[in-house]
């Protein structure tokens, strides 16, 4: 009888210990995830770029887009190809060479999915 009782008590104690350990583990896991989230939040303002060209682009995006639009509309008005300095066809923003290039590009992009 006594042995059985002792075994039962021992079993209960070990069970209790296991549960405590599981609880501890769960707590530490939660803490770890929290710290990871914090790290992510801190990394956002730093911003890492894949290369220096993209870095330059992202840092000067507004300015670059303004300049490009200016030169594009300027060339369009003057009748010059928007990709090179040759005269463009009337009603088109490209010269003969770049018009053909654009047509092949459009054809490929439109027939990609088919
Ligand atoms: Zn051209």
Is residue 29 domain-shared with residue 56, that is, in the same domain? no
Is residue 65 domain-shared with residue 42, that is, in the same domain? no
Q: How confident is the model at residue 7 (pLDDT cuts 50, 70, 90)?
A: confident
The pLDDT of residue 108 is 93
In the chain, how many domains are there? 2
Q: Which two tokens stand for residue 44?
A: 């956002």
Is residue 3 domain-shared with residue 42, that is, in the same domain? yes
In 3D, which of 106, 104, 76 has the Cα closest to residue 88?
Answer: 76
Is residue 7 domain-shared with residue 39, that is, in the same domain? yes
User: Ligand 1: distance of its center to the CA of 92 in Å?
Assistant: 11
What does pLDDT average to over the chain?
Answer: 80
User: Ligand 1: distance of its center to the CA of 105 in Å?
Assistant: 14
User: Ligand 1: distance of its center to the CA of 97 in Å?
Assistant: 6
Distance CA 89, CA 78 (A): 11
Q: How confident is the model at residue 2 (pLDDT cuts 50, 70, 90)?
A: low
Is residue 60 domain-shared with residue 42, that is, in the same domain? no
Q: Which domain holds residue 67?
A: 52-110
Is residue 13 domain-shared with residue 28, that is, in the same domain? yes
Is the predicted pLDDT of residue 44 greater than 90, yes or no?
A: no
């Amino acid at each position: 009888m006594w042995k059985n009782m002792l075994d039962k008590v021992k079993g209960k104690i070990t069970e209790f210990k296991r549960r405590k350990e599981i609880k501890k583990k769960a707590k530490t896991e939660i803490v770890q995830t929290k710290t990871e989230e914090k790290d992510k939040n801190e990394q956002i303002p730093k911003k890492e770029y894949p290369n220096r060209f993209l870095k330059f682009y992202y840092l000067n995006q507004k300015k670059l887009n303004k300049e490009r639009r200016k030169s594009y509309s300027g060339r369009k008005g003057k009748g010059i190809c928007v990709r090179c300095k040759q005269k463009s066809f009337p009603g088109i923003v490209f010269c003969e060479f770049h018009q053909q290039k654009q047509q092949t590009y459009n054809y490929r992009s439109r027939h990609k999915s088919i």
